[in-house]
């Protein structure tokens, strides 16, 4: 292995890693993940409860792609987003449709009146159970799928061995307990761990630069020696492996 050649290759991946979006086609074929093979389907769970007359909110909607896939009446649909580039995108795609878009960076101060929504959705976003309780109508539902605290943890430790978990306590038992403690009734829930493998160190570099909230302070230069060890493992075993950690629950006010 030529260290200088590897460094140049990895620095190139670090440079082109995107700062927004959720498109992993750049490393297609260089990693494998069962993220989309959950024991449940989030969209199917929502559709089981969603009625055409429901007033709904999608928190941290991103670019609004998933929200639009639900095909819910726009006049009954609201969304929040706090990341400036996504807010700008949503103003171009959601607002002209009549969807009520609100810029929101603090989940503990939701810009809506009490008892506003029949359903609040949250896919991989942050939340405050007390605020969600406040904005839901009596009997309203909160439906969420979350990335758990152990997500990619083995991979993080490979390159950042002294790093602590970014979101300790973010698991089904702890988070569902916060909602039941705030007056919610649990209707259904689940948690799963699935494998994720990388067959190419450069792909892992790109991935780490995209998932910055997990790989905190990662860079090729600061983690070069650890990346070199990853390269050795991949050449010996063919891959390095971690876990995808997901959980979901449906709560009724």
pLDDT (0 to 100) of residue 248: 98
Residue 33 β-bridge partners: 196
pLDDT (0 to 100) of residue 19: 58
pLDDT (0 to 100) of residue 22: 64
pLDDT (0 to 100) of residue 188: 98
- Residue pair 42/248 in contact (Cβ under 8 Å)? The answer is yes
Domains defined for the chain, CATH in brackets: 3-252 (3.40.50.150)
Strands 240-252 and 185-198: antiparallel
Residue 45, classed as helix, strand or coil, is helix
Instruction: List Cβ neighbours of 168 (8 Å cut-off, separation of 6 or more).
Output: 149
- Residue pair 59/67 in contact (Cβ under 8 Å)? The answer is no
pLDDT (0 to 100) of residue 138: 98
Sign of CA dihedral 92, 97, 103, 106: negative
pLDDT (0 to 100) of residue 25: 82
Q: What is the pLDDT along the chain (253 residues), one digit of tens a residue?
A: 788 899 999 999 999 887 555 678 889 899 888 777 899 999 999 999 999 999 999 999 999 999 999 999 999 999 999 988 899 999 999 999 999 999 999 999 999 999 999 999 999 999 999 999 999 999 999 999 999 999 999 999 999 999 999 999 999 999 999 999 999 999 999 999 999 999 999 999 999 999 999 999 999 999 999 999 999 999 999 999 999 999 999 999 9
pLDDT (0 to 100) of residue 173: 98
Sign of CA dihedral 95, 100, 103, 104: negative
Q: What is the pTM of this model?
A: 0.90
Q: How many CA atoms lie within 13 A of 206 on its CB side?
A: 21
**What is d(CA 70, CA 47) in angstroms, rounded to the nearest whole number?**
8
b/e burial code for range 223-242 (CB count within 10 A of at least 16 → b): beeebeebbeebeeeeebeb
């Amino acid at each position: 292995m030529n260290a200088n050649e590897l460094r140049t290759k990895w620095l190139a991946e670090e440079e082109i890693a995107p700062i927004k979006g959720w498109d992993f086609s750049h490393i297609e074929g260089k990693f494998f993940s069962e993220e989309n093979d959950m024991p449940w389907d989030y969209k199917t769970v929502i559709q089981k409860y969603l009625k055409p007359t429901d007033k709904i909110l999608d928190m941290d909607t991103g670019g609004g792609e998933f929200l639009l896939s639900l095909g819910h009446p726009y006049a009954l649909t609201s969304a929040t987003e706090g990341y400036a580039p996504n807010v700008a995108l949503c103003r171009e795609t959601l607002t002209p449709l009549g969807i009520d878009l609100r810029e929101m960076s603090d989940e503990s101060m939701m810009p809506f009146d009490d008892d506003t929504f029949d359903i609040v959705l949250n896919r991989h976003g942050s939340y405050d159970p007390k605020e969600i309780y406040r904005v839901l109508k009596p009997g309203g539902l909160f439906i969420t799928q979350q990335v758990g605290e152990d997500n990619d943890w083995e991979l993080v430790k490979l390159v950042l061995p002294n790093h602590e978990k970014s979101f300790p306590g973010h698991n089904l038992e702890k988070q569902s307990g916060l909602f039941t403690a705030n007056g919610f009734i649990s209707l259904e829930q689940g948690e799963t761990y699935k494998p994720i493998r990388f067959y190419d160190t450069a792909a892992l570099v790109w991935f780490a630069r995209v998932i910055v909230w997990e790989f905190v302070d990662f860079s090729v230069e600061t983690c070069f020696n650890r990346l070199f060890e990853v390269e050795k493992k991949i050449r010996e075993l063919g891959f390095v492996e971690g876990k995808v950690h997901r959980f979901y629950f449906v709560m009724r006010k």
